């Protein structure tokens, strides 16, 4: 593969484009496998897949630096993989096994990694947003230059706690990027049925928080918007809102009657706006990669995902004694942050 060539469209190197392709494909294949394991009864409880939305986290992670933090909702597997968490540990958590990030006690919605600065995984809609502001408060207090990405959905964007958080984040100029992943639906409710002012990126105006709408099916546009938001926060100018327009191909969770939209609507998005397919085309048309190169990448990704499923099946269930661990936090010495 010609790694040094750059794409005419954006001056991006083939190497960079390929890495986004790989990262997005890993999330998609991982989620497809999770869907299969769920169907086989190996994953219990809730499971919300991220298929279709991959460009959001991959684009924003490309704009982040080591030490930056992220916190999100229950639709969280993509965020974990994009920030470098181990697919084995994530899949084993989905199957409720000891080798999982929460020793099998948390499941799909409750995984964390202090090492990768991933603060969950939250099942209560919108709850992660004030937590994100809290993380940013700690960073501002410590003057460490870090930025927090607080992700939430279009449905969550109508909640009261979001606006209390906006007020405090703006007042204290916290380095937090509010990332609204607008996938157009909140469970079975279309945004037009629930939302009086659909331009969610303007929701910070009353608090003096700038916002921007971003095409979330284009990883390069997401990265560019992410860089601008990160620069704003690192400069000490306070919070920033990114409303990222995206789409989920699968149901809200694994149990979804799918009666609120047509198959044609989903198919049209897949055919005309898929974030992975468009990068694939850029790689081929820009002669950065051959079909053979891409086949080799597909194979490599499948191997990683299959290995994670094997690991998840083979890992034992947690011991009963684990019922009594991880209940209370260990006290942190003053001044230490996660």
Query: Of these partners, Mg ion, ligand TPP, none, which one is at the site of residue 123 (CB under 5 to 8 Å by kind)?
Result: ligand TPP
Q: Which is nearer to ligand TPP, 259 or 299 (CB)?
A: 259
Residues 181-200 that bind Mg ion (CB under 5 A): 183, 186
Binding segment for ligand TPP (CB under 6 A), chosen from 7-15, 21-29, 62-70, 122-130, is 122-130
CB count in 10 Å sphere of residue 281:
11
123 sits near ligand TPP (criterion: CB under 6 A): yes
For the bound state, the minimum distance from the C-beta of residue 253 to ligand TPP, rounded and expressed in Å, comes to 8
CB of 35 to ligand TPP, least distance (A): 16
Q: Does 186 bind ligand TPP (CB under 6 A)?
A: yes
Q: Which residues between 145 and 174 bind Mg ion (CB under 5 A)?
A: 153-154
Which residue has the CB atom at the shortest distance from ligand TPP?
Answer: 153
Residue 148 neighbours by CB under 8 Å, 6+ apart = 68, 69, 70, 71, 132, 133, 135, 136, 139, 174, 175, 176, 177
The binder of 125, among Mg ion, ligand TPP, none, by C-beta within 5 to 8 A per type, is ligand TPP
> Given the rule CB under 6 A, which of 87-95, 105-113, 179-187, 267-275 is the region that contacts ligand TPP?
179-187
Residues in contact with Mg ion, counted by CB under 5 A, come to a total of 4
- The entry of Mg ion, ligand TPP, none that residue 308 binds, CB within 5 to 8 Å by partner kind: none
243 binds Mg ion (CB under 5 A): no
Instruction: For residue 292, give every residue at least 6 positions away whose Cβ sits within 8 Å of its Cβ, in sequence order, or none.
Output: none
Cα–Cα distance, 142 to 270 (Å, whole number)? 44
Quickly tell me which residue has 């990683």 as its tokens.
304
Taking CB under 6 A as the rule, which mask of x and - marks residues 70-109 in contact with ligand TPP?
---x-x----------------------------------
Q: Does 31 bind ligand TPP (CB under 6 A)?
A: no
Residues 295-324 that bind ligand TPP (CB under 6 A): none
Buried b (16+ CB within 10 A) or exposed e, 98-109: ebbbbbbbbbbb
Distance (Å, whole) CA 112 – CA 118: 6
Q: Does 185 bind ligand TPP (CB under 6 A)?
A: yes
Q: What is the DSSP string of 163-186?
A: HHHHHHHHHTT--EEEEEEE-SEE
User: Where in 32-103 does DSSP place strands (E)?
Assistant: 69-71
- The rounded distance, in Å, linking the Cα atoms of 89 and 102 is 9
Burial classification of residue 314, based on how many CB atoms lie within 10 Å of its CB (0-12 exposed, 13-18 middle, 19 or more buried)? exposed
**Sites of contact with ligand TPP (CB under 6 A):** 73, 75, 123-125, 153-156, 183, 185-187, 252
């Amino acid at each position: 593969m010609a790694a040094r060539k750059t794409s005419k469209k954006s001056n991006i190197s083939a190497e960079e484009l390929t890495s986004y392709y790989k990262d997005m494909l890993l999330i998609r294949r991982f989620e497809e496998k999770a869907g299969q394991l769920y169907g086989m009864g190996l994953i219990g409880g809730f499971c919300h897949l991220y298929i279709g939305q991959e460009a959001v986290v991959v684009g924003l992670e490309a704009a982040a630096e080591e030490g930056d933090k992220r916190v999100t909702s229950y639709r969280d597997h993509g965020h974990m993989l994009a920030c470098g968490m181990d697919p084995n540990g994530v899949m084993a958590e989905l199957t409720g096994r000891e080798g999982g990030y929460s020793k099998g006690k948390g499941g799909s919605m409750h995984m964390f990694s202090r090492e990768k600065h991933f603060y969950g995984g939250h099942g209560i809609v919108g709850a992660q947003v004030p937590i994100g502001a809290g993380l940013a408060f700690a960073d501002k207090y410590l003057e460490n230059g870090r930025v927090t990405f607080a992700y939430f959905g279009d449905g969550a964007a109508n909640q009261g706690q979001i606006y209390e958080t906006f007020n405090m984040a703006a007042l204290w100029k916290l380095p937090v990027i509010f990332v609204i992943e607008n996938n157009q639906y909140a469970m079975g409710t279309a945004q037009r049925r629930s939302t009086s002012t659909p331009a969610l990126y303007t929701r910070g105006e009353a608090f003096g928080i700038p916002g921007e709408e971003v095409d979330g099916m284009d990883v390069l546009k997401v990265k560019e918007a992410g860089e601008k938001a990160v620069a704003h926060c690192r400069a000490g100018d306070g919070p920033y809102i990114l409303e990222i327009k995206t789409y989920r191909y699968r149901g809200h969770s694994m149990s979804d009657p799918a009666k609120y939209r047509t198959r044609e609507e989903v198919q049209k998005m897949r055919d005309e706006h898929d974030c992975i397919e468009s990068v694939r085309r850029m790689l081929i048309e820009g002669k950065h990669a051959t079909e053979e190169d891409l086949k080799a990448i597909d194979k490599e990704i499948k191997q990683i995902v299959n290995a994670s499923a094997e690991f998840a099946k083979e890992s034992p269930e947690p011991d009963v004694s684990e019922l009594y661990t991880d209940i209370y936090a260990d006290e942190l010495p003053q001044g230490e942050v996660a």
